[in-house]
Structure 1
Amino acid sequence: MAPTATRTRQWLPYAAAVTAGLVVIAGAFVFVRQREAGCAITLQVNSSTEKAALLADLAERYNRGDRSIDGGGCAQVHVSALNSGKATEALATDWTRTGLPQPQVWLPTSSLWTGQLRLLDEAAGRELQTPDHYPSIANSPLVIAMPQPKAELVRQHGALGWEEILGLSGRDGWAGFGKPEWGRFTFGKDNPNLSTSGLAATIATYYAAVKRASDLTRSDLADPAVTQFVRRIEANVSHYSDDSVDLLRSLAEADLAGSAGSTDDMSAIVLQEELVDLYNTGALSPRLDGQERGRRPNVPLVAVHPKEGTFNLDHPFVVLPTADKRQRAAAADFQKFLTEGAQQESFARLGFRDHERRASAELLASVGAEPSGGLSYFEPPAPEVVSAMLDGWRTLRKKANILITLDTSGSMQAKVGTSTRFQVAAAAAGKGLALLNAEDQVGLWSFSSETKQQPKSPYREEVPLGGFDQTRIKNKIAGLQVVGDTALYATVRAAHRELLDRYDPQRINAIVVLTDGKNEYSKDNDLARLLAEVALDPKRPVKVFCIAFDRDSDFATLDRIAKASSGKAFDATDPAKIDDAFVKLVSSF
């Protein structure tokens, strides 16, 4: 309700309150509609995805308010959402391709992205869109999130650093903490090319390596001792994620089912503090229709803070050059509105710290107490250093054993526009292969059912698992014949056995399944047995990643297979999404 309407209700006689309240609500609605029609200034805001829904609600609150901007008049604020990396690319190239309104205000997750956009603008020789430092509307530090029993044990050992928690501990696993029965110590993190928290985690690792909290340089990145430090930590990654929210949703589902579940090989996850709070308060748990949040997990996560310090995600408020004078005035008023008490309380309910980095008592009760002296923060490196770091990360990240299984059943001949499903899938696979590391081990199988050309088995080794030969794999895919039915279960079962036989503890061991259908192979129809066989073994984890291609795919079953192994299924049942699905899949390795 508009503030004007609220003030009117305060003098209404009590006996008339109910009836008059209805009139006031109707009047407030008319007031809002009239205000919208009478506001000459429209302000388009683009927000990073993790806070976009909240920003949309706050914009509606702003639009209903009785505010006027400097110079007179009022503004209507509209919010759209795009993740920070994609928004950076769109602002540097052609925003119209996003299909979203051209923004005058940009609210990325971190100022790291404003620096990267500045680099892109400089390289293109155009006006800088983000030349300055910008105020925060909320903050969330990076933390190492661990299940409560493990976090409590780690904290008993006193203040530990990034290397001691994520690096050296991996050599002996939990035996180094007196708990050999907990097995290996591995952790999850987002791919830094796709995720702000993944990028921040990589930066924090470098700062821990140089034992400084500021002034990271390119020469630091080239120091052999630094690269060895980073490589040692990356070696303990269980697998990379394209979205830590999905990872936490899977963890919550498994927790509430009463098992360690699909992330049992992970001792920790590196992510922003806000997500730990959302997990612990049930916001990422399965919920019934109409529920705002699900059940709280049986085993909460606890935020552990490395002794060297951490990186802060500062959620800057960026006014872009696309804003005219009146829109700039409106933006200044909206930024002031967002930092006022009521709106800051809304951010706090989503697990954020306020615009001055202060944490609420409720947040600290949810995620765990800070160190006695408070948090210390790393300074953001220069944009040029961040760019060089991303270039070098490909050679330092943990390498993979990847067995690709490609559906060559007859249904892959069906048309998708002017191409066949197989042609679209082959083209997407080629783009995905280009993103792999030259040091990965990669093999290729085709599968359908027994045919005249392949009478003995429904699957066939096309390229043996070994050194990555991108050209050979692409040429082999181009020459495959498309015929037969879909022996999905038999192929996944055999591929899983193959990777167990070829298991490499120094690598991420993964199966990739690309299919347009569901299991059509009567000789192996036992899904329950398959799920039991591919279930994650924390001592020798082999993960299954599936891409459900086109509308005939049985995505629900592929999702069950992937989750059983602690992998992930990507929904590309809309063929237009297959390229994006491959990018996300490859970013898991």
Structure 2
Amino acid sequence: MRHHPGEFMASSKKAPLIAAAVVGVLAIGGIKLATGGGSDETLETEGKTTASRSSEGCESVVIAASSEKAGLMGEIADQYNSAGRKVDGTCFEAVVTTVASGSAQTALAEGWDEKVHGAKPTVWSPAASTWVGMLKQDLMAADKPNILPEKSSSIVTSPLVLAMPKPMAEALGWPKKQLGWGDVHQLATNPAGWGSVGHPEWGKFTLGKTNPNISTSGLAATVGAFYASTGRASDLTAKDLTDKKVLKYVQDVESAVVHYGDTTLTFLSNLAKADRSGKGMTYVSAVAVEEKSVIDYNLGNPTGDPTTLKDARKPQVPLVAIYPKEGTLVSDSPYVVLDADWVSETQKKGAADIEEFMKTPASQKTFTDAGFRAHDGAAGKAIKDDSNLSAAKVKSVINAPSASVLNGVRSTWAEVRKPARVLMLMDVSGSMGDDSGHRGKSKLELAKEAAAGALDQFTAHDEVGLWAFTTGMAGGETDFYSELMPLSKLDQANSKKLTTTLNGLIPLSGTPLYAATRAAAATMKSECADGYICAVVVLTDGRNEDMSDNDLDSLLEDLGGGSSENALRVFSIAYGDGADLDTLKQISEASSAAAYDSRDASKINKVFIDVLSNF
């Protein structure tokens, strides 16, 4: 049975406003926190140092690099550190840290909190120059000093492509026929889906696309769709963003999205898993990714991590790279030496020397061997050896719109994106009352703040509900959850109500993880409908403690079917050092979703935003 919400909430608690900093960051839309592999993201490497500190006594040059190239830059940095180079008698130590582009943009606009993002950078190398332009606009809007140089140059490049299973691309006429967003739009709007080209067994056309507020590939794909709707490859204007025909075109494309998210790695990893079971053709029809990701996937290494390549297992069905005929954006990886008050003139000289080293033929070969193009756009051996890609220079390149238009694209996207129905499942077991080790607050207090603060990811088009779960609620052995708020349109009134409800949660007993997840999934499957992204988001700080339902295998079987269209997906958050991350990974992977690691409780704000970026 379901108890009245008041039985499980502290009646004296009121809903405080969430810190303005969190809301402000969301308004900028540049958050990219815990992040992904072959694109500008990675789920567990944010803030990670990828080059060893081996040059004792040398001046440090910290390079904040987007995660798709940070590992390779770290390898080259190690080579630089061992080369004994000096500038005006001073040696330098290159230290590469992983910070996703959107996250770094926001961090720099806010002054860079070292506790959150690591050491303040001397150099910023986002995936694309578009983030640099948006940072400049953010600084101007906030009346803050400009910390950007007048110009910067590229380290490596990688164009955005539509990665599609080879048989699907061939069914559309590839490689003889040039494909693009127009084909995506046509398939997305045809009720017959793949049946319209003779393959009804593939179902509807589905698209994997990341959130443009935090992901470079997601932003590039969104811009590409807007440009395709206008028939132009340059000069996208604010007026275009209000044109009804343009908006309808982009909304049609977005209607095919499986879900969004902070990382293309979620799509590629789930596609690889589906491929191994012979279901790759039913999970997703195309994914908007950088070209390098296609190489990584076809090598059987969707993360793009060189250390895992030895364990790679090539897919049964490879992906092909479709270079949209309407044009595409290129991730140009600028090397931006910051003109900030924490960067000395000596460090700037060292940064310039490191950039020169990064552009040597040997360093460029390190990049191109891994699937990037050189800084001048030339393809290397990895691209030339893969017949599923084109080694020719990309001819149809879209000119990125102005920073103000880019921000307008992201704002407009929030109104035309696919809406979501999401059930938030919050653990209120007794251990959630333990000290988080952060800001003197309990784990539950931090989680409540994070959940409420991340609600700005939703719009009034979305429907959100809230359950609390713990064992023995009101003494009933099988009464393991309470519906605190049914699925409701998240308008201003319901958003305030949900925030109030979240802030009233109190810790109680044990953790019936399997039973609560099973019940939530069953409920959401019945509530799901065409035209919505349907999901459960479960946060827990422990492992299953309900012996009346201790059957993980049957739960995973119940959650299966995530490789089919309109499937329910269970995104999970492992919260606190006692969380069972391995089991949560199995639960999320069974539904073709993703598990997020917040075992460091202080990271929960970042993680919650990343999780809700899937919608």
TM-score range, shorter chain: 0.7 to 0.9
**CA–CA distance in structure 2, aligned partners of residues 539 and 126 of structure 1:** 46
Higher helix share: 1
SS of 2:482's equivalent in the other structure is strand
What amino acid maps onto 1:490 in structure 2? A
| Per-residue deviation, residues 461-510 of structure 1 (Å, max 9, x unmatched) | 22222322112222333444543432222222222222222221100011
Q: Compared with structure 1, are the counterparts of its residues 100 and 445 closer, same or farther at alpha carbon in structure 2 (3 Å cutoff)?
A: closer
Q: Compared with structure 1, are the counterparts of its residues 571 and 167 closer, same or farther at alpha carbon in structure 2 (3 Å cutoff)?
A: farther
Deviation at 1:218, TM superposition (A): 0.7
**CA–CA distance in structure 2, aligned partners of residues 203 and 564 of structure 1:** 32
What amino acid maps onto 1:354 in structure 2? A
Residue 489 of structure 2: aligned partner:
467
Q: Is the aligned partner of 1:499 residue 2:516? A: no
SS of 1:90's equivalent in the other structure is helix
Deviation at 1:144, TM superposition (A): 0.5
The answer on whether the counterparts of 1:42 and 1:76 sit within 8 Å (CA) in structure 2 is yes
Residue 26 of structure 1: aligned partner:
none
Q: 1 or 2 for the larger relative contact order (CA 8 Å, sep ≥6)?
A: 2
SS of 1:582's equivalent in the other structure is helix
The answer on whether the counterparts of 1:285 and 1:297 sit within 8 Å (CA) in structure 2 is no
Residue 62 of structure 2: aligned partner:
44
**CA–CA distance in structure 2, aligned partners of residues 178 and 580 of structure 1:** 44
Identity of aligned residues (%): 37
The within-5 A match list for 1:32-431 is 42-65=60-83, 67=85, 69=87, 75-97=92-114, 98=116, 100-130=118-148, 132-156=150-174, 158-166=177-185, 168-171=187-190, 172-255=192-275, 257-260=276-279, 264-284=282-302, 292=310, 294-322=312-340, 324-366=344-386, 368-370=388-390, 374-417=394-437, 418-431=440-453
**CA–CA distance in structure 2, aligned partners of residues 287 and 338 of structure 1:** 20
**CA–CA distance in structure 2, aligned partners of residues 89 and 358 of structure 1:** 31
Deviation at 1:253, TM superposition (A): 4.2
The one of 446, 459, 469 equivalent to 1:447 is 469
**CA–CA distance in structure 1, aligned partners of residues 542 and 211 of structure 2:** 29
**CA–CA distance in structure 1, aligned partners of residues 196 and 466 of structure 2:** 39
**CA–CA distance in structure 2, aligned partners of residues 500 and 387 of structure 1:** 35
The answer on whether the counterparts of 1:280 and 1:367 sit within 8 Å (CA) in structure 2 is no
Deviation at 1:237, TM superposition (A): 0.5
**CA–CA distance in structure 1, aligned partners of residues 476 and 95 of structure 2:** 58
Deviation at 1:458, TM superposition (A): 2.1
**CA–CA distance in structure 2, aligned partners of residues 319 and 531 of structure 1:** 48
Q: Is the aligned partner of 1:551 residue 2:569? A: no
SS of 1:561's equivalent in the other structure is helix
What amino acid maps onto 2:290 in structure 1? Q
How many residue pairs are counted as aligned between the two chains?
Answer: 551
**CA–CA distance in structure 2, aligned partners of residues 365 and 51 of structure 1:** 20
**CA–CA distance in structure 2, aligned partners of residues 407 and 481 of structure 1:** 10
What amino acid maps onto 1:303 in structure 2? A
The answer on whether the counterparts of 1:399 and 1:508 sit within 8 Å (CA) in structure 2 is yes
Q: Compared with structure 1, are the counterparts of its residues 485 and 233 closer, same or farther at alpha carbon in structure 2 (3 Å cutoff)?
A: same
Deviation at 1:82, TM superposition (A): 1.6
Q: Compared with structure 1, are the counterparts of its residues 494 and 293 closer, same or farther at alpha carbon in structure 2 (3 Å cutoff)?
A: closer
The answer on whether the counterparts of 2:466 and 2:483 sit within 8 Å (CA) in structure 1 is yes
Residue 35 of structure 2: aligned partner:
none
**CA–CA distance in structure 1, aligned partners of residues 120 and 148 of structure 2:** 16
Q: Is the aligned partner of 1:433 residue 2:455? A: yes
Normalization by structure 1: what TM-score?
0.86
**CA–CA distance in structure 2, aligned partners of residues 96 and 406 of structure 1:** 29
Q: Compared with structure 1, are the counterparts of its residues 337 and 301 closer, same or farther at alpha carbon in structure 2 (3 Å cutoff)?
A: same
The answer on whether the counterparts of 2:265 and 2:303 sit within 8 Å (CA) in structure 1 is no
Range that drifts further, 241-250 or 495-504: 241-250
| Per-residue deviation, residues 159-183 of structure 1 (Å, max 9, x unmatched) | 2330322554353211122100111
The one of 524, 529, 534 equivalent to 2:559 is 534
**CA–CA distance in structure 1, aligned partners of residues 95 and 348 of structure 2:** 15
What amino acid maps onto 2:326 in structure 1? E
Unaligned runs of 5+ residues in structure 2 are 1-53
Unaligned runs of 5+ residues in structure 1 are 1-34
Structure having the higher Rg? 1
| Per-residue deviation, residues 507-529 of structure 1 (Å, max 9, x unmatched) | 00111112222222233222211
**CA–CA distance in structure 2, aligned partners of residues 145 and 164 of structure 1:** 13
The answer on whether the counterparts of 2:206 and 2:565 sit within 8 Å (CA) in structure 1 is no
Range that drifts further, 528-537 or 450-459: 450-459
**CA–CA distance in structure 1, aligned partners of residues 186 and 250 of structure 2:** 9
SS of 2:250's equivalent in the other structure is helix
Q: Compared with structure 1, are the counterparts of its residues 412 and 372 closer, same or farther at alpha carbon in structure 2 (3 Å cutoff)?
A: closer
**CA–CA distance in structure 2, aligned partners of residues 566 and 96 of structure 1:** 34
The answer on whether the counterparts of 2:188 and 2:256 sit within 8 Å (CA) in structure 1 is no
Residue 514 of structure 1: aligned partner:
539
| Per-residue deviation, residues 243-269 of structure 1 (Å, max 9, x unmatched) | 1124323433443x43436x9431111
Residue 606 of structure 2: aligned partner:
580
What amino acid maps onto 1:473 in structure 2? L
The one of 548, 554, 568 equivalent to 2:594 is 568
Range that drifts further, 205-214 or 491-500: 491-500
**CA–CA distance in structure 1, aligned partners of residues 474 and 265 of structure 2:** 46
Q: Compared with structure 1, are the counterparts of its residues 38 and 476 closer, same or farther at alpha carbon in structure 2 (3 Å cutoff)?
A: closer
**CA–CA distance in structure 1, aligned partners of residues 583 and 314 of structure 2:** 27
